[in-house]
Amino acid sequence: MNVPQIETRLRVVVRGRVQGVGFRYYVLERARELNVVGIVRNLRDGGVEVIAEGSRGALEALLAALKVGPRAARVDSVDAVWLPATGEFTTFTIAPTR
Per-residue confidence (pLDDT) for residue 20, from 0 to 100: 96
The string of pLDDT tens digits covering residues 42-62 is: 999 999 999 999 999 999 999
Catalytic residue, chosen from 9, 11, 35, 42, is 42
Query: Is 24 labeled as catalytic in the residue annotation?
Result: yes
Beta strands 8-17 and 92-94, pairing class? unpaired
Query: Is 44 labeled as catalytic in the residue annotation?
Result: no
Angle at 88 between CA 84 and CA 92, to 5 degrees: 105
Domains and CATH numbers, the chain: 8-93 (3.30.70.100)
The string of pLDDT tens digits covering residues 5-39 is: 789 999 999 999 999 999 999 999 999 999 999 99
CA distances 44 to 53, 91, 96, Å, are: 23, 24, 10
Per-residue confidence (pLDDT) for residue 2, from 0 to 100: 64
Per-residue confidence (pLDDT) for residue 80, from 0 to 100: 98
The string of pLDDT tens digits covering residues 73-91 is: 999 999 999 999 999 999 9
Per-residue confidence (pLDDT) for residue 33, from 0 to 100: 97
Residue 1: pLDDT above 70? no
Catalytic residue, chosen from 11, 17, 24, 44, is 24
Per-residue confidence (pLDDT) for residue 3, from 0 to 100: 65
Q: What residues contact residue 60 under an 8 Å CB cut-off, 6+ apart?
A: none
